[in-house]
Structure formats: structure tokens, C-alpha cells
Amino acid sequence: MKILVAIKQVPDTATQVKIGADPRAIDTAGITWIVSPYDEFAVEEGLRIKEKRGQGEVVAVSLGPERVKEALRSCLAMGCDRAIHLNDPAWNDADTLATARALAAVVKQEQPQLLLCGRQAIDDDMGAVTAQLAELLGWPCAYWIMEETVDADGKSARVARQVEGGLEIFDIPLPAVLAAQKGLNEPRYPTLKGIMGAKKKELKDVKAGDLGLAAEPPQLSVVGLEALPPRAAGRIIQGDVPTAAKELVRALREDAKAI
Amino acid sequence: MANAFWCIVEDDRQGLPKKVMAEVIGEASRVSGGHAEAVWLTDKATDAGLAQLGAWGATRVWLLEHATFAPYRSEVWVGALADLTAKESPKAIFGAVTSRQRELVARLAARLGVGLAADCIAFAMDGDRLVATRPVYAGKILAKVTWAKGPWVATLRPNVFRPAESQPGRTAAIEKPATAPPAAVMKFVERREEASTGLPELAEAEIVISGGRGMKGPENYVILEEMGRVIGAAVGASRAAVDAGWRPHRFQIGQTGRTISPKLYLGFGVSGAIQHLAGMRTSKVIVAVNKDAEAPIFKIADYGIVADLFEVVPELTKEFKKLLEK
């Protein structure tokens, strides 16, 4: 069974993010980059499916500039068999739809039975590419997957989707797109052997022209970025605990009108 | 109608729209100057539900009623919605940030070949274009975005927008266009209900209580749930508490959990790591209780108490009880 995992490289949550000289983008100097956490759940799930079946191939794919190779290498170190890097300035202004179109073109070439993604990337939190890929491919799609089992014959999967108030269980015919939610699994750390082995694995550059695509104007574009306005300074309520509790409840009712 | 702002209805699966729809319809009405319309895909609508959408200010309700719409499956819903969109050419399509609409609206935008702005917290018209504001990079930055062409597709973060007032005198025209939804590809097996805590749903609650690593163990959340029952709050947890196995993941607030925006957030033993702030920093009033005066959460808190939460929580619950029993 061939499994494709689409991942995104994003700034580490704890990293300082500053608006760049072009106020529509961030200043990428000094940023620590990671594989988006939800995408790690997707990679882990792909590897587990392969291990359980005793055969198969897990291919990691990502779109972005040269630095994205580092993220793909860490997927290879986790155990992916090879990686595809959509690396072309034609995609510099790619919005979710242009990204989904590029990834869909790769899926059509590779023809996996399963496409795994994270439920959203933690940089722009749009959470759209997975569903848009499903739409462009005409495949069924299940979001926020908490459990997944591929049938022995590899023709369908039973998935548990997290919804408000519970889980919904579906049988989904393959090929299909699944979006990983936290709780699906616990991603492994790459071993030293994995890290060394990753250097020998195939990491292929793909240009827009290779997929028969050209630069397209984005359907959604950023007008500008603004730093979050700082919150007004708060107040530490002093005094012993009973006094402080009384004063807090009074302030919430009378000053903040929050209760 | 070509100037309509559509609001995709999120319902309680029992035939009534959820209260987040008051916010979506309220904002759509405000931005469009009174042209909000509701689009409701369901297996069963109720008259009370239809009346409620009108009372919130929807001028028209497009009701697509069909057994195959439940449970929600994107391949069914997108086909039906795209057909209606092609016929009626709305100016914008708004949804709420819920587990299903996150997927639905993204897939619909791809079908229509238009842009999507997800999880928006503000909208403004700039001449004849719509500009949406949405938090990015763990909420550290706000991005203003706009669309190359319509319909403008967006989802709205719950609890951020001012809800429309329910005015019983207002009624919507009900349209029931013929719908032939695509056949479902995904086969529904079952629904597993969560054990109910009897407290409000985290993402929609107006008051949220959150317990962090300072809670010391799963058994101690009962004191937060007791407070929750007194003030009608949902009880959530930080990632540290969820990763320790104290609470199931569905209770996690933060970047890899739920994003919440309640009127009042009360954090107990929560340090305020960036990934937690990403999920709650748009809360209106923030209260923090932590033994550690240096905890980063105090930097964004409106009110703080530096003390042992196990002393503060019972006192606070007592005071809340006194206040609300008056």
C-alpha cells in the first residue's frame, strides 16, 4: 500500500515572530522551524499502517522554499521512504487553493491509496488544504480523525471523527484523504540510525512545470499583518485568600461585568 | 440574491440552530446591511428552528431537507451547496468554526475556485471588497486578508461576534428548492457519545474554567467542575494536563486543542505557555490563579491572585454561590 503524507514546515510555537519589511509577511530571520505538530501525527499514522501491514511505501511531500528540505529530512528520519519537495518560486504566493492544486498534481502522479494530512498547520491555522485536496481529487475525506484502521484488503478504512459531543465512526472507501487530530497517536522521535539513514533516502525537487502547472494569482491574499494589540495591564489582587476571593468576585461583577 | 450573505446553519441535530448562528447571522447582517440569509442542510428542520433563524435577522432561509444530510459528510453537503450557489450567486458564504464546517467550507471554496478565510474575528467593507481579520502564528499576529473574487467564503470564530438579538416579530421567507444531493460515499457506522459532564460545550461556553499542571492530578478536577456547575462554565485543561493523561484531549485548550473566546476565562494552575495562550487569548476577561508570581499568564490576565489554587478555588466557589443565589 502506498501512502502519501502532506506536511508543512512552520515556525516553532515558542519562536518570536516579527512582521517583515514587507508588512504582508513575517521576518523569517532567526526563526526556528519545525514540522507542524498535526502533520507529525499524520506521518506517524502512515508509518504505523505500513508497519502493521508489513509492506508498503510512505512518501512525504511538502511545498515551500529550500528550508523545507530540513522538515522533509526529519520525516525521512522518522521512517518515511522518500520525499518530494515542491520547490519553485512560482508557488511563493500560493494560497491554500494553489497549494492544494500543486499537491493534488503530485497525488495524481504518485497514485497512493491513502493521503494523510494534519488537521491544520499551526502557522496560519487555515485548516483548508486537506479538504481542498479531497475536493480536487474527488476523494472522500474525514476531518479530525482520532482512530483509524485500514482493512486487510486495503480497500477501505474505518475512521473515528471527532465532532462536538462525541465521535462519529465511518467506513471510508480508499483512496481517501484523512486529517489527523491530536490523540490519534504519539509520534516517535527519530533514532540516530534513522537520522543517518535519512541522508541516503531520495528527496526529489519538483518544479511547477514538472506538474504542468504555472504560477496563478492567489484567490485569498494578505492585505497586511498587525501585531496583536497589547492587553491593558491587569491587576494582582492582594490580601489573604478569603479577602482576595471576595474582591475578585466583586470586581468580576461590578467592574468587568463578566458574571 | 446577488447581494446575499449566506450563513450555513450549524444545528443541534434535533432541528434547532445552535446559538453560534446568532453571531454568524448578526455579523452577516451588519456587514451586508441587512442581507443575511440562512442555508440549512438537515435531515429534519423544525418550525421553531426556522422561526429562530428569522428572529435573528435572516431575511430568507434556504432549507435543503433530505435524509442523506445526516450525519454530515462533505461529499454530500458540498455537492448540494455548490448547486444552490451556482443558481443563486450569493455575495458571501459564512460558516461557524465547528468540526464539520471547518472541512465543509474549505471543500466548498475549492469547488467554487475561490478563496477561504478561516477562523475570522472581524470583518470590514473596504470600498466594494470585504476584508477579514484572522489570528495567525499562535495568535501573536493578526492578518488582514481579502478575496480576488466572490463569493467570499469565511468561517467565524464562536463567541467573538456580537450575537443578533432574537426579535420574534422578524420572519424569514422560507425557500425549499428541490435538492438532489450526491450519494454518500462514506458509510456511517455509529456515533459514540461522550460521557456528559452536564457542563456547557467548551468551544461555545460563555465562561470557561481551565486547570493546568498545578491541578496535580486528575482527581482534583472535581473542584473545578463544582465551580463550573455554580457559574455555568465549561471546564477545560492545558496541554500539560492533557499530555499527563489527566483529562481527555477533547478538553484541551490551546494550539493543538480547542480555540476558545469566552466572556470570562478562569485559569487555575495554568502557567500560560504560548501554545495555551494561542487558544484563549481572545477571551474578553482573563483571570489567573497561580502560586508562581512569575507565571507568564499573569502578563495577559485582567485579574490575578498569587496563591495556592487549592485554597482559592473553594473560597471562590463559595463567593460565586453567594453572588448568584442573591
pLDDT in the model for residue B252: 96
Contact between A244 and B143 using a beta-carbon 8 Å cutoff: no
Give the one of A172, A236, A242 whose C-beta lies nearest to B315's C-beta. A242
- pLDDT band per the 50, 70, 90 thresholds, residue B194: confident
In this structure, are residues B192 and B130 in contact, taking their beta carbons and an 8 Å threshold?
Answer: no
CA pair distance B201, B196, nearest whole angstrom: 10
Residue A51 C-beta-side C-alpha neighbours within 13 Å: 9
Q: How far is B36 from chain A (nearest CA, A)?
A: 22
CA pair distance A41, A180, nearest whole angstrom: 6
Mean pLDDT, residues A130-152: 97
Running DSSP on this structure, what letter comes out for residue A39? Answer: H
**Cα separations in angstroms, B66 against A78, B63, B103, B234:** 45, 10, 20, 33
pLDDT at B69 over 80: yes
Q: How far is A175 from chain B (nearest CA, A)?
A: 11
Contact between A132 and B110 using a beta-carbon 8 Å cutoff: yes
In this structure, are residues B214 and B268 in contact, taking their beta carbons and an 8 Å threshold?
Answer: yes
Q: CA of B274: which chain A residue's CA is closest?
A: A14
Beta bridge partners of A9: A35
Mutation test of the interface with chain A: which of B123, B137, B308, choosing the one with the most A Cβ atoms within 10 A? B137
Query: Chain A 215-244, CB below 8 Å of chain B: which residues?
Result: 217-228, 231-232, 234-237, 241-242, 244
pLDDT in the model for residue B14: 93
Contact between A234 and B301 using a beta-carbon 8 Å cutoff: yes
pLDDT in the model for residue B36: 98
Mean pLDDT, residues A62-73: 98
Contact between A222 and B143 using a beta-carbon 8 Å cutoff: yes
**Would you list the DSSP string of B48-60?**
HHHHHHHHTT-SE
Angle of helix B74-88 versus helix A129-137 axis, rounded to 10: 80
- Looking at beta carbons, which residues of chain A come within 8 Å of B102? 120, 127, 131, 143
Cell 454561590, residue? B321
Chain-wide mean pLDDT for chain B? 96
Q: How far is A178 from chain B (nearest CA, A)?
A: 11
ipTM here: 0.95
- Report which residue type is found at A199: K
Give the A:B interface size as CB pairs under 8 Å: 266
Mean pLDDT, residues A122-145: 97
Contact between A252 and B104 using a beta-carbon 8 Å cutoff: no
Q: How far is B122 from chain A (nearest CA, A)?
A: 13
In this structure, are residues A138 and A77 in contact, taking their beta carbons and an 8 Å threshold?
Answer: no
Q: How far is A83 from chain B (nearest CA, A)?
A: 25
Q: How far is B214 from chain A (nearest CA, A)?
A: 17
Contact between B319 and A96 using a beta-carbon 8 Å cutoff: no
Query: Chain B 26-55, CB below 8 Å of chain A: which residues?
Result: none
**B247 closest CA partner among B260, B257, B233, B259:** B257
Give the one of B186, B278, B303 whose C-beta lies nearest to A142's C-beta. B186
* Angle formed at CA B187 by CA B182 and CA B188, multiple of 5 degrees: 110
Beta bridge partners of A158: A149, A171
- Looking at beta carbons, which residues of chain A come within 8 Å of B99? 143-144, 161-164
Mean pLDDT, residues A108-118: 98
CA pair distance B289, B210, nearest whole angstrom: 10
Instruction: Report pLDDT digits (tens) over A33-58.
Output: 999 999 999 999 999 999 999 999 99
Instruction: Report pLDDT digits (tens) over B119-167.
Output: 999 999 999 999 999 999 999 999 999 999 999 999 999 999 999 999 9
State whether residue A152 sits within 8 Å of chain B by CB: no
Mean pLDDT, residues A250-254: 97
pLDDT in the model for residue B52: 98
Give the one of B140, B146, B188 whose C-beta lies nearest to A228's C-beta. B140
% of chain B beyond a pLDDT of 90: 95
Contact between A223 and B275 using a beta-carbon 8 Å cutoff: no
**How many Cβ atoms sit within 10 Å of the Cβ of residue B48?**
10
- Looking at beta carbons, which residues of chain B come within 8 Å of A246? 315, 319
Q: How far is B283 from chain A (nearest CA, A)?
A: 11
Mean pLDDT, residues B94-117: 97
Spatial strand order of the sheet with A235-236 comes to A235-236, B303-306, B285-290, B264-268, B207-211, B234-237
Chain-wide mean pLDDT for chain A? 96
pLDDT at B1 over 60: no
* Angle formed at CA A171 by CA A166 and CA A174, multiple of 5 degrees: 130
pLDDT at B326 over 80: no
Give the one of A17, A135, A160 whose C-beta lies nearest to B110's C-beta. A135
pLDDT at B196 over 90: no
